Chain A
Amino acid sequence: MKARERRVLNELRKDSRASFTAIAANTGIPLSTVFKIAAKLERSNPVRYACLVDFEKVGYPFRIGVFIRADKRHEAIEFLQSSPSLNTLLRLSGDCGLYAELLFKNMPVCQDFLEMLREVSGVRNASVHFLSVVKQEDFDISLND
C-alpha cells in the first residue's frame, strides 16, 4: 500500500465519519485523490466502518473475554456465532482454540450463557476475564511509512 493510501486509511481509522474534505485538509492530499483512494480501499481491503460504543452506558456493563478449549470446536463456534451477546470471535493458535468477547446486562445472564456453552460444546476449559476498556482500534496504519 502506498504511503498516501495509508494516510487516508489512518484518518478513517481515527474517525470513519470524517468527511473527505477534512481528510484532504489533514493529510494535504488533494480532495479528488482522497476520493479515489477511499474508493480503492473499499474495493481492495474490505473495510467496515463501525462506531465503538460504551456499552455500560446503554445497559450492558458486563464485558467478558473467554479463552475456550472445546472438544467440539465447530459446535462451540456455531453456538457462539448464534448468540446476540457475541462481540468478537477469534481462532487462536495452540491449545486454547478460541477467544470470544461477549457482553451481558447482568451476571445471572452471563453465568447462564457460560453454562450453556459448556454443555453444548464439550468445553474442557474456559478461562473467563472481566474486561474494562482502555483503548480500542488504535493501531497506527502509517507506522511503516
Chain B
Amino acid sequence: MKNLERDLLILSHLRRDARVKLTKLSRATRIPVSTLFDKIKAYQVQGVLKKNASLVDFGLLGYQARALILLSAHKKDRAKLGEVLRKSKSVNSLFKVNNGWDFSVEVVFPGMKEVEEFIEGVEEQVSLKGKSVFYVIEELKREAFLSNPALVGI
C-alpha cells in the first residue's frame, strides 16, 4: 500500500460506516469517487478488506446468551476442533490463540442451556483438554479500532 495514511483514512471511514456513499466519502477524504471505487476494489482483491459486516445487538434479536469460550485440544485433535468450530453457524467469531489454549470462540445462543449443549456437542466430536466459559454481560465497544477518521495520522 503506497500511501498508507490515505488508505487508513479511507478504511477508517468504512470502519465507521461500511454503507457510506462514495460521494460522501469523496467529500470527507477529498479523494475522487473514481479513485475511491478503484481503491476499495483493490482492498478486496488484496484481502485488506475482508468483509463488510453488520454489527447487530443479538439480545434484541432474542439471543440472550453470548459467551467467550477458551478451548484446548490434544495436538492430534486440534485441526478437527478448528474445523468443527469453523463450520458451526452458532460461532460468531473464532480465533486461534496461544498461552495454554488453542481457540477463543464467541458463540451466540437464545440461552445458557444452549451454550452448554453446544460445548457438549463439541466434546462429543473432539476430545477436549480444557475449556473455560465466560458469559458476556455487556458489550462496551465493538470493532472500534481504526474507526475514527479524526485519529488517522496522529
Closest to B96 in A: A132
Closest to B152 in A: A84
CB distance from B36 to the nearest CB of A (A): 13
Task: Flag whether A124 is at the interface (Cβ < 8 A).
Answer: no
Closest to A48 in B: B55
- Taking a contact as CB atoms under 8 Å apart, the answer to whether B54 and A9 are in contact is yes
- Report how far A128 CA is from B4 CA in the complex, Å: 29
Number of B interface residues, CB 8 Å?
A: 65
Query: For the complex, would chain B's binding face be called helix, strand, loop or mixed by DSSP majority?
Result: mixed
- Taking a contact as CB atoms under 8 Å apart, the answer to whether B51 and A140 are in contact is no
CB neighbours (8 Å) of A45 from chain B are 56-57, 60-61
CB distance from B82 to the nearest CB of A (A): 7
Task: Flag whether B86 is at the interface (Cβ < 8 A).
Answer: yes
CB neighbours (8 Å) of A77 from chain B are 140
User: Interface on A for B, CB 8 Å cutoff?
Assistant: 1, 9, 12-18, 44-55, 57-60, 65, 67, 77, 81, 84-94, 96, 99, 102-103, 127-141, 143-144
What are 21 A-B pairs at a CB distance below 8 A?
A15-B51, A16-B54, A47-B54, A48-B54, A48-B143, A49-B52, A53-B50, A55-B146, A57-B1, A86-B144, A90-B139, A93-B137, A129-B101, A130-B98, A130-B99, A134-B82, A134-B86, A136-B92, A138-B92, A143-B89, A144-B110
